[in-house]
Amino acid sequence: MDDAHPQPPAADGGRRRPDATQRAEALKERIYVTFTSLAVVIAVERSGTHASVGGAATTLVLTVLGTLLAVLVSDLLAHMVREEALPDRAEIRHLLWVSLGSLSVVVLPLVLLGAAALGLLGLDVALRTISVVLVLTLVLVTLLAVRRLRVRLGVKVGALVGIALLGVAVLVVELAVH
């Protein structure tokens, strides 16, 4: 994988390079968490006068953890149905690596909420900044996904622009709904 994301442990405890399917699973999970986080942050921002830094952080963390647990359980069940067996240790470690690695998506948003808690930023500024950071995260995750593809540069750029537009569309829809 790349240097920014840890590799899943091998069955013998050492490191092994994840295959394309495993990398795709990790990137897919980060997309889920990023979109979920974006929706939560916008909803908290739109709640306006009822929003607090602690409430925003708690809502974000609980929503992300809930999302990751839901995906982990669904992956476990899908594995059992597909393989007609429980996952072995290596497969469980991989599933946990994918889920726990996705928590990296909310590190910067939580840092920004921490800055708001310290009075360095207003909560409204922190939430708007987090929304922008999350859209940029979508673009970064897409960049990681397409950088090794053997397709024309135009296709890669198109994917990046498309994801950025989708992220902005989520912002627009969320703002219009609230």
State pLDDT tens for residues 2-57: 444 444 555 445 556 777 777 788 888 888 888 889 888 888 887 766 679 999 99
> CA angle, corner 84, sides to 78 and 86, nearest 5?
75
Rounded mean pLDDT of 75-101? 90
Residue 3 falls inside a structural domain: no
Residue 157 falls inside a structural domain: yes
Domains in the chain, number: 1
Reported as half-sphere exposure (CB side, CA atoms, 13 A), residue 143 has a value of: 9
3-state secondary structure 65-113: HHHHHHHHHHHHHHHHHHHCCCCCHHHHHHHHHHHHHHHHHHHHHHHHH
Non-local CB neighbours of 39 within 8 Å, separated by 6+ positions: 170, 174
By the 8 A CB rule, do 126 and 113 touch?
A: yes
Residue 13 falls inside a structural domain: no
Residue 137 falls inside a structural domain: yes
CA–CA separation, 31 vs 28, rounded Å? 5
Q: State residue 13's pLDDT score.
A: 53
Residue 24 falls inside a structural domain: yes
Q: State residue 4's pLDDT score.
A: 42
User: What domain range includes position 169?
Assistant: 20-177
Alpha carbon dihedral 112, 63, 3, 158, in 10-degree steps, equals -90
Residue 47 falls inside a structural domain: yes
Residue 92 has pLDDT above 80, yes or no: yes
pTM of the model as a whole = 0.77
Residue 66 falls inside a structural domain: yes
Residue 5 falls inside a structural domain: no
